[in-house]
Chain A
């Protein structure tokens, strides 16, 4: 019996610890991916150095490159010898050296200003349109899930024809800003329409949620009374439950949500936790 208990403990400890071990299985599917990335980076760095410096590579960069290139060779060897730990070290050393080189190159080769793509002027119009199209498709898919007959069909057709037109304008370098504004506004109105049209369904789902929840709280409050918990708090909770039910009957879902937040605090004070079953 004792041995069995010890065995169970060991299994449980292992079961608890094992998920954390999985995170360390880097490149587990195919360790050669490390070499693939490192070799690509090496060749790319050589290309960049040839383009910028030709045969006159500055000494500091040459030292860094040699360090990185040697690490690539070592990585290849480590993988051949199935030495995964060494391979990881080699990979990080390689990518660190090449990262330093690429940053030196990009700082010295041009008058450089660090740019974040959060500045609108730096965003590519074609990419922006791709993203908008993806957004429209997501909304269309939500709309279709809730209605057998596509309620917003005309709006979506219009959105897709606008996207097509803007693409044409981009191809011939024509100004498409007006159409983009129109598309964005159309997409916003579609989103609002979807939200409004499903709000009734959504309200019913929230009401169902509350109904199950409040029944269980009622039961828990009766038990709390029997256990002699704080009477004032229990009365307060009862009042809040009544208020939520009243608000739900008037379809004032948002107000009910606010009162529910208050109720949760009171329940916590009483020492009640409720889970829907």
Chain B
């Protein structure tokens, strides 16, 4: 039996001169100069991050106070060849505005309606902090936060607030000192919240509230099993503990005493010393996010502090699971 329809790939009569059926690689051969295409793609790929990086917030952190006023802190990459930079302030009722440029200079700002004209001269990164009263409104007991953000942002809600409505999906949520911190994507966001004295536990609770007696029985059995395991394991742990103790002593000997660190680095700022103490007390390494939680600092402020300590040679930064792991340097004496 002969096949009436032959696949195009196997049709030898359509050679390189064929017009209708041209293979992909022939397109590159005849129509486009491949090296040219590659070169242009490389240029486009190289320019894309530069184009998108200027004038876009690196970080945008918002903290809502219980009275609805919002503290904004943001860090923006800007073109160092601009005289000034116009920033949208998200509203017109602004207080306590501070704009800091490169070299920690306080920059001059003119506020015109909803925007701030910042004299950036030569700065490539600017840090802006201010309080704004336009982002939250209140109707009865219901508070509504609304923002049209140019970038992803974090939002720390007030203590004892309970979210009862929101218009978009959160990227993440953390609990910081009993306050919900949401990470949200760019674009329009509306969040409704109430204040409640009867605030709900933050743990993930099961929506099915079924038979408690079954849970109690399972719990009881689990406890008995756990107790048995603990007794068995404890004996083994005695040996392990002694090893761990040795390791800890080893660590402290290796990293330097906290007082010695401060003696080697007498110019450290008081707030930086607090960070160093905290890292030291945590066996010499913590995640940057843990530092933010502990010291309640916006992402940008903590980032600057960590970078400062890195410059001083007190710490080193490693990447761990896409997060910054901040570690005390072990060979700090070599730097002095």
A and B: bona fide binding partners? yes
A residues lining the B interface (CB < 8 Å)? 2, 5-6, 8-9, 12-13, 15-16, 23, 25-30, 32-37, 39-45, 47-48, 72-73, 76, 88, 91-92, 95-96, 98-103, 105-107, 109-110, 112, 114-118, 122-124, 127-128, 130-132, 134-135, 138-139, 141-142, 144-146, 148, 191, 194-195, 198, 201-202, 205-206, 209, 213, 257, 260-261, 264, 274-276
What is the CA–CA distance of A42 and B204 in the complex, to the nearest angstrom? 13
Interface of B is mostly: mixed
The total of interchain contacts (Cβ-Cβ below 8 angstroms) comes to 222
Main secondary structure of the interface of A (DSSP, over half): helix
With contact pairs A9-B37, A131-B69 given, residues A106 and B129 touching in the complex (Cβ less than 8 Å): no
Q: Are A106 and B140 in contact (CB under 8 A)?
A: yes
The reply to whether the CB of B194 lies closer than 8 angstroms to some CB of chain A is yes
Q: Across the interface, do B169 and A26 meet the contact criterion of CB distance under 8 Å?
A: yes
Chain B residues with Cβ below 8 Å from A105 are: 140, 142
Task: Given A30-B172, A47-B198, A201-B105, check contact A96 B204 (CB 8 Å).
Answer: no
**What would be 17 A-B contacts, judged by CB atoms less than 8 Å apart?**
A16-B45, A23-B185, A34-B170, A45-B164, A102-B164, A105-B140, A110-B140, A115-B137, A123-B67, A123-B69, A131-B95, A134-B71, A138-B129, A148-B267, A195-B108, A257-B83, A261-B83
Contact-residue size bin, chain B (C-beta under 8 Å from the other chain): 35 or more
Contact A116 B139, beta carbon cutoff 8 Å = no
Q: Which of B96-104, B110-118, B210-218, B221-229 contacts A (4 or more CB under 8 A)?
A: B96-104
Query: How far does the Cβ of A238 sit from chain B's closest Cβ, in whole Å?
Result: 20
Interface contact A99-B165, CB-CB below 8 Å = yes
Q: Is the CB of B105 within 8 A of A202?
A: yes
Knowing A122-B67, A202-B105, A257-B121 are in contact, say whether A35-B45 is a contact too (CB < 8 A): no
B106→A142 contact, CB < 8 A: yes
Q: Are B133 and A131 in contact (CB under 8 A)?
A: no
Please give the distance in Å from A81's CB to the nearest CB on chain B: 15
B165 adjacent to A41 (CB under 8 Å): yes
Residue interface bits B180-207, CB-to-A below 8 A is 1, else 0 = 0000011000101010101010101101
A176 to nearest B CB, angstroms?
16
Within the assembled complex, what's the spacing in Å between the Cα atoms of A195 and B138? Answer: 37
Residues of B within 8 A of A9 (CB): 37-38, 41
B246 at the interface (CB under 8 A from A): no
